[in-house]
Amino acid sequence: MAHSSSFLLPSPPADDAAAAATAYAVVVLNQRLPRFAPLIWDRAQLRVCADGGANRVFDGMPELLPGDDPEEVRMRYKPDVIKGDMDSIRPEVKEYYSNLGTEIVDKSHDQDTTDLHKCVSFITKKPPGSEKSMLSILVLGALGGRFDHEMGNINVLYRFSNVRIILLSDDCSIFLLPKTHSHEIHIVRSIEGPHCGLIPMGAPSARTTTTGLRWNLDNTSMSYGGLISTSNIVEEETVRVTSDSDLIWTISLRN
């Protein structure tokens, strides 16, 4: 299974066939927008705000584009859908986007799932692109703020382990490496690294093997209370990972 962060490049390489065949959806959560939010938004074919994430788009996009007229920016970066339990979105923001034609999906009756879970479920039922497209969901604002929210967002990676979901902040990206596959992570050095980590959050790993890292693992066991691979360093253009357990991969993002 191949992975790449080329979607963060202003212009992905022309020979990046995987990126060309990918349909991107973006989910915005209720944390500060990363600096590359406009790029991700423009790349996506479906834009969903989770409840208070709409406030972040309304307030944050003009701040990220200070040379443009704020009202024009708000109209250009209009969510396709706002979904969640509607306890965080400001009334005037909800009315503003509703008047622009944004679909408002109130799920306040569902208190058993997080707003990110609701948004991912919505996207996977009607994914963008063609039937042959590979869906990738890019989540902005998934990291930072309350720790329980972060853990809830990481739990969504496990709940939807068959969907490619990438959690993004200014500092790093995070995604799941399911144990059902061997993984090739293609490093884009201009935008990411060198620090990375492999974390067995779902269950201990009895055997994990890697290549391409400064401190590779060779059928190594990892668990909380024992060894976990944090503050590792990417050494090669491709990192390969196999494991008997689902692992979280994280890598730093460059400024």
Question: 19: pLDDT confidence band, cut at 50, 70 and 90?
Answer: low
Question: Two tokens at 38?
Answer: 């406009």
- The domain that contains 224 carries what CATH number? 2.60.120.320
Query: Of the candidates 170, 197, 224, which is a domain's last residue?
Result: 170
Q: Which residue has the tokens 């250009």?
A: 76
Q: Which amino acid is at 65?
A: L
Same domain, 225 and 120: no
Query: What pLDDT score was predicted for residue 14?
Result: 67
Same domain, 135 and 185: no
- The domain that contains 111 carries what CATH number? 3.40.50.10240
Same domain, 111 and 202: no
Query: Of the candidates 123, 155, 170, which is a domain's last residue?
Result: 170
At residue 17, does pLDDT exceed 80?
no
Question: 133: pLDDT confidence band, cut at 50, 70 and 90?
Answer: confident
Report the mean per-residue pLDDT for the chain.
93
Q: Which amino acid is at 69?
A: D
Question: Two tokens at 117?
Answer: 């879970």
Q: How far apart are CA 240 and CA 186, in angstroms?
A: 9
Same domain, 152 and 214: no
Same domain, 114 and 217: no
| Beta-carbon-side half-sphere exposure of residue 47 (alpha carbons within 13 Å) | 19
Handedness of CA 41, 47, 53, 58 (dihedral sign): positive
Q: How far apart are CA 218 and CA 205, in angstroms?
A: 12
Percentage of the residues of the chain whose pLDDT score is greater than 70 = 96
Across 107-121, 154-168, 187-201, least confident range: 107-121
Same domain, 190 and 248: yes
> pLDDT tens, 62-80?
999 999 999 999 999 999 9
Across 16-20, 101-105, 174-178, least confident range: 16-20
3-state secondary structure the chain: CEEECHHHCCCCCCCCHHHHCEEEEEEECCCCCCCCHHHHHHHCCEEEEECCHHHHHHHHHHHHCCCCCHHHHHHHCCCCEEEECCCCCCHHHHHHHHHCCCEEEECCCCCCCCHHHHHHHHHHHCCCCCCCCEEEEEEECCCCCCHHHHHHHHHHHHHCCCCEEEEECCCEEEEEECCCCCEEEECCCCCEEEEEEEECCCCCEEEEEEECECCCCCCEEECCCCCCEEEEEECCCEEEEEECCCEEEEEEECC
Same domain, 40 and 157: yes
> pLDDT tens, 94-112?
999 999 999 999 876 766 7
Checking 212-220 for CB contacts under 8 A at 24+ apart, the result is 212/185, 212/187, 212/236, 212/237, 212/238, 212/239, 212/240, 213/239
Question: Two tokens at 66?
Answer: 């200070």
Question: 12: pLDDT confidence band, cut at 50, 70 and 90?
Answer: confident
Range of the domain at 159: 22-170
Same domain, 149 and 107: yes
Same domain, 186 and 140: no
Percentage of the residues of the chain whose pLDDT score is greater than 90 = 84
Q: Is residue 5 situated within a structural domain?
A: no
